[in-house]
Amino acid sequence: MIEAIKKRRAIRQYLDEKVSDEKLNEIISAAMYAPSANAIYPWDLIIIKNNETKEKLSKVTPWSGHVKDAQVVIAVVGHETESPDWVEDCSIAAEHIWLEATDQGLGACWVQIRGNENAQKEVKELLSVPDEHRVLCLIPIGVIGKAEEEHSEDDFDRTRIKQESY
Ligand SMILES: Cc1cc2nc3c(=O)[nH]c(=O)nc-3n(C[C@H](O)[C@H](O)[C@H](O)COP(=O)(O)O)c2cc1C
């Protein structure tokens, strides 16, 4: 597990190569096995492969340009009205997607939509998301075009780890 965790990076360049249905199914399953407060599972996943839709999604924020180059994009949609913990639940599901994509040898990234009301509106319109739901993020996934080095202990600050009390 720690190996996949260290390898997981924000990958923003992808090759124009297909992601197999087998791999995609494993990635989707990883999200669906995520834990959820009170076992509500307040999410939907929208799987997007259509080039025109990806192109439009890539324009919704200044940090979403790479979405158009991904083979598949997964939109994580939260059911805000069903659970006060939808952000936590959906974030864990999104991280499962990212980690499983890494473990499948693919590149992925998190593209934030929650908190940007213009982007929220545009993505909801593009993907016909019901009014009462909220889009947490988009996760572009593809065959890695430009790899990033895996994380090592040099990447984090050990003073953040406290023993017994702050
Ligand atoms: C909540 C969240 C929002 C993020 N939003 C974006 C984004 O909109 N666009 C993007 O390219 N990367 C985004 N990222 C990726 C971060 O920039 C990346 O995780 C960070 O630079 C650390 O690099 P690493 O993921 O390779 O370890 C986001 C990550 C998180 C956790």
Q: Where are the domains of the chain?
A: 2-160
Predicted TM-score (pTM) above 0.75 = yes
| CA of residue 164 to ligand 1 center, whole Å | 30
Q: How far is the CA of 113 from the centre of ligand 1 (A)?
A: 12
What Rg do the C-alpha atoms of the chain give, in angstroms? 16
20 CB neighbour count, 10 Å cutoff: 12
Output the pLDDT for position 148.
Answer: 98
Q: Which CATH class is domain 2-160?
A: alpha beta
Atom 20, ligand 1: residue with shortest CA distance: 10
Nearest alpha carbon, ligand 1 atom 27? 9
* pLDDT tens track for 69-119: 999 999 999 999 999 999 999 999 999 999 999 999 999 999 999 999 999
Mean pLDDT of all residues belonging to the chain: 97
Ligand 1: distance of its center to the CA of 61 in Å?
13
Residue 153 has pLDDT above 90, yes or no: no
Nearest-atom index, ligand 1, CA of 64 = 9
Please list the helix, strand and coil fractions of the chain in percent, rounded to the nearest 5, in that order: 40, 15, 40
